[in-house]
Amino acid sequence: MNILFTCAGRRHYLIDYFQQVKPEGSLIVGADMQSSAPAMALVDKKYVVPPVYAANYVDELIKICQQETIGAIISLNDLELPILSEHEAQFKKRGVKLIVSNNQVTDICFDKWKTVEFARQIGVETPKTFLNLKSALTALDDGVLTFPLVVKPRWGSASIGIEFPEDLEELKLTYTLLERKLFRSMLAEVSKTDAANAILIQEKIDGTEYGLDIFNDLEGNHLAVYVKEKLVMRAGETDKAVLRANETIESIGKRIGENLKHVANLDCDIFESNGQYYLLEMNPRFGGGYPFSQMSGANFPAAIYAMLNGQPMQQAWFRKSYNQTFAKCDILIPVE
């Protein structure tokens, strides 16, 4: 079973996890815009591809699949997920399994407004959220909303464009600035979906932040939840964390997994404040916080290989070792 990782980027550690458990004779192939992407240093074969929004992007991936007899694709980029799910039929007829959730799931996760609506439907709390500046200003006037606030792209990725205004003047300034910058950023294309409502305004929740890895099988059936308390963040990713035994958050994760029916891993953020839990966002892919689950006993790569090959799950892949803190650190690797 040869697997292609697309938008391989900096996920060097994830490629390493898959290399450790890949079946004998299998290949791990990487695709990225740059041959020097850190993750490409660990793949068995690497390919340089055009940007995800290029007209020939999917065609180039199909060529790789045919040349390397690829059996499955794993994407590591939010912007790419809807593109791949939209073209699932093209891969399927060539015998390639997309380990990517369907269009409905990727849409719910990528569109943060639809994330809020989904959470409400399944009885999970979210911060008070407003679709445009006018509705947020009305809520402020009515006392429904108070500062500080969060201003962020509706279709966001990697904490791009997030601001935290603390008064009315800052709110108007940051909103106007983000409006201008958004359509010059990597989020420009997807933000055109609803340009008039491409920025969300939320109440800012102060408290403890948790990152969840919610794991389903390849048909969307729920299997496991790992709850990590985030201790330190760096550039929008978890830098230091510890696995916690929290039955309340695990039950929320299970509810999300059972209702969303995503495929494989879902990276999810939840805040706890005064005993209340709030869903912030969901990303249907391996996120930057997954290594903390792996180091605490999980082995989702082994489970994925087993599912692809029709083999049963093993309990050893879902062990949990609580209360041991792990931290990321920088390393240098040869990339060319």
CATH of the domain at 192: 3.30.1490.20
Range of the domain at 212: 208-327
Whether residue 175 is found in the same domain as residue 218? no
Domain stops at, among 154, 175, 203: 203
Q: Are strands 222-234 and 208-216 parallel, antiparallel or unpaired?
A: antiparallel
CA–CA gap between residue 318 and residue 13 (Å, rounded): 19
CA dist 31 to 9, 162, 233, 253, 315, Å? 9, 29, 28, 31, 32
Using alpha carbons only, what angle is made at residue 132 by residues 127 and 133, rounded to the nearest 5 degrees?
A: 100
Residues 214 and 288 in one domain: yes
Number of domains in the chain: 3
Q: pLDDT tens string for the chain (336 positions)?
A: 999 999 999 899 999 999 999 999 999 999 999 999 999 999 999 999 999 999 999 999 999 999 999 999 999 999 999 999 999 999 999 999 999 999 999 999 999 999 999 999 999 999 999 999 999 999 999 999 999 999 999 998 767 889 999 999 999 999 999 998 888 888 888 888 899 999 999 999 999 999 999 999 999 999 999 999 999 988 778 999 999 999 999 999 999 999 999 999 999 999 999 999 999 999 999 999 999 999 999 999 999 999 999 999 999 999 999 999 999 998 898 987
Order of all β-strands in the sheet with 149-153:
129-130, 199-203, 149-153
In a shared domain, residues 92 and 150:
no
- For residue 49, give the DSSP letter: -
What region does 168 belong to: left with phi over 0, alpha with psi -120 to 50, or beta?
A: alpha
Do 300 and 236 sit in the same domain of this protein?
Answer: yes
**In the numeric block, which tokens belong to residue 21?**
């458990």
**pTM, two decimal places:** 0.95
| Residue 113 covered by a domain | no
**Do 9 and 38 contact (CB within 8 A), yes or no?**
yes
In a domain, 232, yes or no: yes
Listed residues 177, 203, 229: the one ending a domain: 203
Q: Is residue 123 part of a domain?
A: no
